[in-house]
Amino acid sequence: KKRIFSGVKPSGDLTLGNYLGAIKNWATLQEEYECFYSIVDLHAITVKQEPAELRKRTLEILAIYIASGIDPEKCTLFIQSHVPAHSEASWLLTCNTNMGELSRMTQYKDKTAKVKDNEAIGSGLFNYPVLMTADILLYQADAVPVGVDQKQHVELARDIAQRFNSTYSDTFVLPDVIVPKEAAKIMDLQDPSRKMSKSDDNPNSFILIMDKPEVIRKKISRAVTDSIGVVNYTDEQPGVRNLINILCALKGYKPDEVVDMFRGKGYAEFKSAVAEALVDEFTPVQAKVRELLSEKSKLEEIYKKGAERASYEAQKTLRKMQKKIGLVPR
Ligand code: TYM
């Protein structure tokens, strides 16, 4: 079986973008691939986190993975910081990465665009893609399922792997990107030119996986559309197109089918179909998350077993890296 690695960082509550762009797709892929899915807490601390919140959210995300249909019997689920090889490999790779290629990462540029002074930018934020590279390469992943916003980082991981292979000799599998079709980039409900993001200040911009039904209905009814008034899948109607994408990703429809379904109908009817599809999807997930969080020992068992399995694979690769670089084996 081919292998995949992916992760979500617990830096905020998970959104519909994380769910459709990543988690729901991961559940589908588990039948076909050997999967390693992590909660990447070391990535979350590249920006300030409240310790108690971080701890709580990390476990909630593990519960969300399982509640969304990711089977801990089939997949390796673990918390990144439980496998120290990630930090170690990250340093070895940092020494094989140049400032230039990290400076070109668009996520870094976006996140620091408004900061005038380098003194105010954490170096963790700059080095973030190297840690992500370590995550992927340690498991010799053939593919990495992510939303479009993470594509550039996976390509960097591939470049770094290729360079390491040619500097030292064949060590890493070169990872490919897997991007979901309609859900590759779920847009902000208030500004459909931007990606939906958990760090947005306006809660009407995003749907959270744990949002209550009435909140979901309200946010969808307020979603920005246009004055054209016809449900069409075009660039001129980015708000409507985004809602069509959401409905397609939830229900397995094609965009054309949705356009046909709502021919001659108004936005109110269309939006309420989108809202109900979301409520139908998230109600059972939320119930399962609550159930899982009420029996912490079960979650603990899952992440401990996951860390053991992940460590075994990660150590194998780390040893190889150390040896090739010239570190004396213990
Ligand atoms: P993060 O935590 O920002 O997002 C987790 C996953 O959700 C996807 N995503 C979206 N997809 C579609 N539409 C959106 N609006 C949207 N918002 C987020 C992301 O593309 C991602 O797949 N650096 C990564 C975490 C990471 C990782 C890794 C991923 C660390 N190491 C190794 C893959 C492999 C991140 O910050 O994702």
Our answer to whether residue 185 is catalytic in this structure is: no
Q: Whose CA is nearest to atom 36 of ligand 1?
A: 9
Give me the residue spans of the domains in the chain.
Answer: 3-179+296-325, 203-290
**Structure confidence at residue 291 (pLDDT):** 98
Portion of the chain with pLDDT greater than 70, in percent = 100
Residue of higher predicted confidence among 32 and 120: 32
**Structure confidence at residue 74 (pLDDT):** 97
Tell me the mean pLDDT in the region 187-197: 96
**Structure confidence at residue 325 (pLDDT):** 98
Residue 307 has pLDDT above 90, yes or no: yes
The structure's pTM equals 0.96
Cα 180 to averaged position of ligand 1 atoms, centre (Å)? 12
**Structure confidence at residue 101 (pLDDT):** 95
Q: What band does 282 get if pLDDT is binned at 50, 70 and 90?
A: very high
Annotated binding site: 9-11, 17-18, 135, 147-149, 186, 195-199
Cα 23 to averaged position of ligand 1 atoms, centre (Å)? 10
Decide: 153 and 132 in contact? Cβ < 8 Å.
Answer: yes
Portion of the chain with pLDDT greater than 90, in percent = 93
Residue 268 has pLDDT above 90, yes or no: yes
Cα 215 to averaged position of ligand 1 atoms, centre (Å)? 24
Our answer to whether residue 198 is catalytic in this structure is: yes
Question: From the centroid of its chain, how far is CA 316?
Answer: 25
Strand blocks (E) in 73-195:
76-79, 143-145, 176-178
Fold for 3-179+296-325, please state it: Rossmann fold (3.40.50)
Our answer to whether residue 195 is catalytic in this structure is: yes
Decide: 137 and 168 in contact? Cβ < 8 Å.
Answer: no
**Structure confidence at residue 125 (pLDDT):** 94
Mean pLDDT, the chain, as a whole number?
Answer: 96
Q: What is the pLDDT of residues 86-124, one digit of tens each?
A: 999 999 999 999 999 999 999 999 988 888 777 788 899
Q: What is the pLDDT of residues 315-330, one digit of tens each?
A: 999 999 999 999 998 8
**Structure confidence at residue 116 (pLDDT):** 78
Using CA atoms, how far apart are residues 148 and 25, in angstroms rounded to an integer?
Answer: 13
Atom of ligand 1 nearest to the CA of 18: 7
Residue 16 has pLDDT above 90, yes or no: yes
Tell me the mean pLDDT in the region 57-82: 98
HSE-up (13 A, CA, CB side) for residue 7: 29
Q: Whose CA is nearest to atom 9 of ligand 1?
A: 18
Q: Which of 180, 182, 195, 194 is nearest to 245 (CA)?
A: 182
Structural domain 203-290, CATH architecture: Orthogonal Bundle (1.10)
Residue 182 has pLDDT above 90, yes or no: no
Using CA atoms, how far apart are residues 16 and 170, in angstroms rounded to an integer?
Answer: 39
**Pocket around ligand 1: residues whose beta carbon is below 6 Å from it?**
5-9, 17-18, 21-22, 40, 43, 132, 135-136, 144, 146-147, 149-150, 153, 183, 185-186, 195-196
Amino acid (1-letter code) at residue 286: Q
**Structure confidence at residue 115 (pLDDT):** 82
Indicate which residue of 48, 56, 74, 198 is catalytic.
198
**Structure confidence at residue 119 (pLDDT):** 77
Dump the DSSP string for 178-230: E--TTTSSPBPSS-TTSB--TT-S-GGG--BTT--HHHHHHHHHT----SS-S
Cα 145 to averaged position of ligand 1 atoms, centre (Å)? 9
**Structure confidence at residue 263 (pLDDT):** 96
Our mutation pick for probing the ligand 1 site, out of 3, 4, 8, 60, counting the most ligand atoms within 8 A of Cβ, is: 8
